[in-house]
Amino acid sequence: MKKEIYKNQALYSQVLRYAPLSAMPNPRDPKNSIREPRRGFRLLPNGDVELAFFAPNAKTVEVVGNPATMGFDRCPMKKDDEGYFTATISGIKPGFHYHHYLVDGVRAINPMVPIGYGSFTPINFIEVADDECDFYMLKDVPHGEIRMEIYPSSVTGRTRACYVYTPPGYGKDGNRKYPVLYVQHGVGENETGWVWQGKMHHIMDNLIAEGGCEEMLVVANTGYAFTEDGKDDYLPGEFDRVLIEDCIPFIESKYSVRSDRKGRAIAGLSMGSVQAARTAVLQ
């Protein structure tokens, strides 16, 4: 691979770990040093993917992938003397891949492989780098912030969460009003996916640094608008009302953003694209 893109930190980070997945903190060391164990996930320079699962008491471990994108359904992993089950897989297409593990036939999460929320459950994923696509990688550019906001919903009667990206330098000019992009996730995912799977903060940082887009806020909202009575449909549900009546007023009350029609935009992935289109058309 070119530019050693396969080593980029963005490929090996996840919400549950403060250290890179290629390293393990040593709690017995008073200096809290970092040692290099066997990796759970590693991209190799030739494009192969190395996966490892530590299960010293297990008899079998298999990694289960999508044949259409990962090139296999079930791949047996080979156990070594240290209790690691490993597999090196060739031909996985560049891009994003959910997958899971079967430990003695029982589905399990691999704690040393990135974890996100997808298919309505915590799930492992990997990102296979593409030499021609580095727009979502971590680069040495000014970085914005990701903030988690909690707000009440008058529509669902529940408290909801959203993630807000603010560009570098946000807040330094108290008079400046920023446009806002509201982004919606795909079915089975939630608002966390735009950070941990979608890497929206890296994308925005890089685009702004290269002059590829205007400085703006990005709000990743959960697309499920379930109500207390259970009479709802997750596809549109009452999402458009939640966004318009609850989320947008909350964002505009707390952040320095534009409130005119041309200062707002909405986009989405899969289910989120349907919600975005319906919301834009209806409003």
Which CATH number does the domain housing residue 275 bear? 3.40.50.1820
Which pLDDT score is estimated for 37?
53
Residue 18 reports pLDDT greater than 60: no
pLDDT band at 10 (very low <50, low <70, confident <90, very high): confident
Could you tell me which of 142, 208, 151 has the C-alpha nearest to residue 179?
208
The enclosing H or E element of 28 equals none
170-191 tens-digit pLDDT = 989 888 999 999 999 999 999 9
User: Residue 137: inside a domain, yes or no?
Assistant: no
Is 173 found in the same domain as 110? no
Is 158 found in the same domain as 122? no
Which pLDDT score is estimated for 24?
56
Mean pLDDT value across residues 155-170: 94
Residue 46 reports pLDDT greater than 60: yes
Is 164 found in the same domain as 189? yes
22-45 tens-digit pLDDT = 555 555 565 555 555 557 888 888
Which pLDDT score is estimated for 33?
56
Q: Mean pLDDT score of the chain, rounded to an integer?
A: 87
Domain that holds residue 87: 2-128
pLDDT band at 11 (very low <50, low <70, confident <90, very high): confident
Mean pLDDT value across residues 263-267: 96
Is 278 found in the same domain as 167? yes
For residue 148, CA distances in Å to 137, 145, 192, 221 come to 22, 10, 10, 10
Which pLDDT score is estimated for 63?
96
Is 112 found in the same domain as 149? no
Residue 141 reports pLDDT greater than 60: yes
Is 88 found in the same domain as 39? yes
% of the chain residues with pLDDT over 90: 60
Q: Which residues of 44-67 are buried (b: 16+ CB within 10 A; e: fewer)?
A: eeeeebebbbbbeebeebbbbbee
What are 99's two structure tokens? 């997958």
User: Residue 134: inside a domain, yes or no?
Assistant: no
CA distance 118 to 93: 19
Which pLDDT score is estimated for 156?
86
What are 160's two structure tokens? 């909801």
Query: What domain count does the chain have?
Result: 2
User: Residue 197: inside a domain, yes or no?
Assistant: yes
% of the chain residues with pLDDT over 70: 85
Is 220 found in the same domain as 108? no
Q: In angstroms, what is the C-alpha Rg of the chain?
A: 21
Is 60 found in the same domain as 14? yes
Which pLDDT score is estimated for 236?
54
